[in-house]
Structure 1
C-alpha cells in the first residue's frame, strides 16, 4: 500500500470531529553539510608501477616468486647465471692482493732507502687501478640480481628458469597498491572551482556498494584545446587492495563545501519559477502559513533553501495537497533520520488516530 493510500485510509477512519483537521506529516528545516557535485569518469593507476627487465643477456638461474604475492623493497626476485663475471671478479681480487703485497714490500724498502719513491708510487697507482676494476665488476654483478625496487604486489611472471633473457625483455610487473592514482578530466569551465586537497568519492562497477574516498593531488598545467578539458589526478587510499590499475571509476567531486538549510524535496510547491512551502506554526495551534522560498541545489530527496525559512522551522512534507494557507492541521509526526513516513502513518493508525 502506498503512502498516499495509507494516509487516505487513515483519514477515512477518523471520527468526523477529528476529520475537521487534515492530518499531515512535518519535517524541520535543518542545517546540513552540502556540496555541489561534479561528476566525471576516471582510470586508476598504481601509486608506483614498474615492469621488471634485465640489463644483460644471460640465462635465468633462479626465480623467487610465482606471482600475486607481496614483496619487500630489495627482495631478490630473479638471479641470472653469473659464473663468468664472478670468475673475473675473483681474478681481479687475486691481482689486487698481489699488488697490495708489492706496495707493502716497496714501502718497506723505501723506508730503508733501498727502493726509489717513484717505483713505490707506480705500484700504488697499479693497485688503485685494479681496485677500480673490482668495483666495476661488482657493479656489473648487481645486474645479475633483479630485486624489488619498492614494496608491492608481483604480477604474473613471464619467464622460467633456463630462459635466455635480453636487455629490455619483460620479466614481470610490480605494483604498489596501498594507494592509487585516479586520473580524470573535467571541463575547462570548472577549473576555477577545483583546488588540490578537494575531497571526492569514487565508485566502481566491480564494487557497486562501496564508496572510495580520496582527494585531488594535482591539477594539470594545460587545457586540451580540442576537448576543452583539464586533466586532474586524485589519490585514493586502498588498504584492502580491492582497486586495481586500469579500473574505470565514476568520480564525484564535492565542490563548494558549506553548511546550508535543507528540507525534504516533497515539501516544495512549485509554481512556474517560484517555490512555496507550507509552514506549520506550532505556537499557534498548528496553523498553516504559505511561504515563498528561494531554492538552491538539489540532491536525491532534499533541496537547499537559500531564503524564506530559518533553522528549526516546521514545514508540511506529506499532505501538502490536502491543506491550504490559514488552515489548521493535525500533525501525525515529524520525519527525520530515525523515523520514516510509513512508520508515522502506521503508528497513528494503530493508535486509532488519537
Structure 2
C-alpha cells in the first residue's frame, strides 16, 4: 500500500532543494563545505509505553440513605454542589426525639441533685452509704439513656462524611422516607482512581509509582498525569490479564466517575541518549549517523550506533553516542565521511526545519 506525501512535506522539500541549489551555485571556494541542517544529541527522560483502556472511579464514593422513618424537614444542598466534611445535607423531623431528650435531661438533673444531697448527708453519717450508691446508679442509668437518645437524633441528621460533590437532589421537604431510602450521592473527585487491565506478560514490569498519562474523548487536547497506585494480587484465569489501579489528580473536578480513558503507562523510566529519527542512516540491519566534529572545522565522521526504542520523530541510542554531540539531520545524502559541512542551522524544540530553510532563503535572496 502506497501513501501520498503531505503537501507540507513537499513544501519543505522544495525549500531544502532551493537552498541547497543556491549553495551549489556559489563560487567554488564556498562549495567546499556542504550546507546541512544539524541536530544535537540530547539526554531526555525516556520510557517504554504500555497502552490500555481504563475506567475512572471517584477516590471516595457513597450513597447516603435514611436509617429511620420520618419526613424530610430540611434539604441543605443543590445539585452538583461542592460540600465539606460534616456539612448538614438533610434533616428529618425529630420533634418527638427532641422531647424525649429534654425529658431525660430533666430527669438527669433531678437525680444528680439527689446524689449530691445524699452524699452530704452521708458525709455527716445521716444517710446510709447504700442509698448514695443506689442514687448514683440511677444517675448513670439516665445518663446512658441520654447518650442513646443523642445517638438516635444523629440518625435524623445526614451529614457529608468527607469533602466532595453531591449528585442530583431527588427529595423534597415533606417527603416520607424509610430506612434504605436514597437521599443523595456524594463523590470525592479531587483525586480520581483509574482502573485498567494489562496482559500478564507485563506483570514483572509493573510496580507502584510508575508514571502514566491518560486522555479522554471529552478533552481530546489534554493529557492528565498520574501514577500507578497498586497492582492486583490476582491474574484473571480467563483473560490472562492483571488489574492495575492508578491515581490522577483532578483539582478542577473536570474528570467524572465512569469516564473511559486511554492510558499510557511509562514503563522502565530512564534517562536516554536521544537523536532525531531522520538523522539515522540505515544500512541493512545496521544504523549509522553522521557526527559533525566541531573541533575539526566541522568535518563529518560516519559512526555506527545501536538503536533502542523509537517514538514519533525520535530514537533512543543505546551505544555509539554521548550527550550533546552534533549530527547531520538534513542533507545526509549529500555528505560523505571526511567532508566539511556548513550549518544552515540547528533544528530543536524551538526552531523547526522550515524556519531554518526560510531564513536561509531570505538571506540568499
Q: TM-score, normalised by structure 2?
A: 0.88
Aligned counterpart, 2:205: 193
Change (3 A) 1:131 1:22: same
Cα distance per residue 1:312-338 (max 9 Å; x no partner): 332221122333344444432221222
* Cα shift readout 1:206-242 (whole Å, capped 9, x = no counterpart): 2222222222222222222222222222222221111
SS, match of residue 310 in structure 1: coil
> Please, which of 302, 322, 329 is the counterpart of residue 310 of structure 1?
322
> Of residues 2, 8, 29 in structure 1, which corresponds to 2:11?
2
Q: Are 2:20 and 1:11 equivalent residues in the alignment?
A: yes
1:214 aligns with 2:215: no
Contact 1:109 1:115 in 2 (8 A): yes
Contact 1:186 1:231 (8 Å CA) reproduced: yes
| TM-score normalised according to structure 1 size | 0.91
The partner residue of 2:261 within 239, 249, 256 is 249
Deviations 1:26-68, CA, capped at 9 Å, x for gaps: 1122222212222222222222211111111111011111122
Let me know the Cα RMSD of the aligned residues.
2.3
The Cα offsets for residues 262-285 of structure 1, whole Å up to 9 and x where unpaired, read as: 110001122332212223334444
Q: What residue number does 1:99 align with? A: 111
Distance 1:288 1:74 in 2: 71
Instruction: Give the 5 Å matches for 1:26-45.
Output: 26-45=38-57
**1:25 maps to 2:25:** no
Contact 1:55 1:166 survives alignment (8 Å): yes
Shift of 1:182: 1.6
For residue 347 of structure 2, what is the aligned residue in structure 1?
335
| Residues 137-146 or 64-73, more deviating | 64-73
Sort the Cα spacing of 1:132 and 1:318 in 2 relative to 1 into closer, same or farther, 3 A: same
Q: Among 267, 291, 296, which residue is 2:279 paired with?
A: 267
Name the residue aligned to 2:150: 138
Cα distance 1:19–1:119, how it changes in 2: closer, same or farther (>3 A)?
same
Q: Does 1:236 align with 2:248?
A: yes
How many residues end up aligned between the 2 structures? Answer: 353
CA deviations 1:176-207 (Å, max 9, x no partner) are 22222222222222222222222222222222
2:239 to 227, 249, 271: 227
Which structure 1 residue ranges, 5 or more long, are not aligned? Answer: none
2:217 to 205, 209, 215: 205
Match of 2:79 among 42, 64, 67: 67
Question: Structure 2: any 5+ residue segments left out of the alignment?
Answer: 1-9
Q: Which of 16-25 and 4-13 deviates more?
A: 16-25
Q: Indicate conservation of the 8 Å contact 1:59/1:164, yes or no.
A: yes
Q: What do the CA deviations read for 1:128-161 (whole angstroms, capped 9, x no partner)?
A: 2222112111111110011111122221112111
Instruction: Mark the CA change 1:289 to 1:98 in structure 2 (over 3 Å): closer, same or farther.
Output: closer
Q: Does 1:129 align with 2:141?
A: yes
**Aligned-residue offset at 1:121:** 2.8
Residue 104 of structure 1: how far off its partner (Å): 4.2
Q: CA deviation at 1:19?
A: 5.5
Distance in 2, Cα, partners of 1:19 & 1:141: 94
**Is 1:11–1:19's contact at 8 Å kept on the other side of the alignment?**
no
1:347 CA displacement: 1.7
- Is residue 2:92 matched to residue 1:80? yes
User: Aligned-pair distance for 1:164?
Assistant: 1.0
Return 7-16 or 40-49, whichever deviates more.
7-16
Question: Take 2:274 and 2:120, find their aligned partners in 1: how far apart are those partners?
Answer: 94
Q: Is the 8 A contact 1:154 1:175 kept in 2?
A: yes
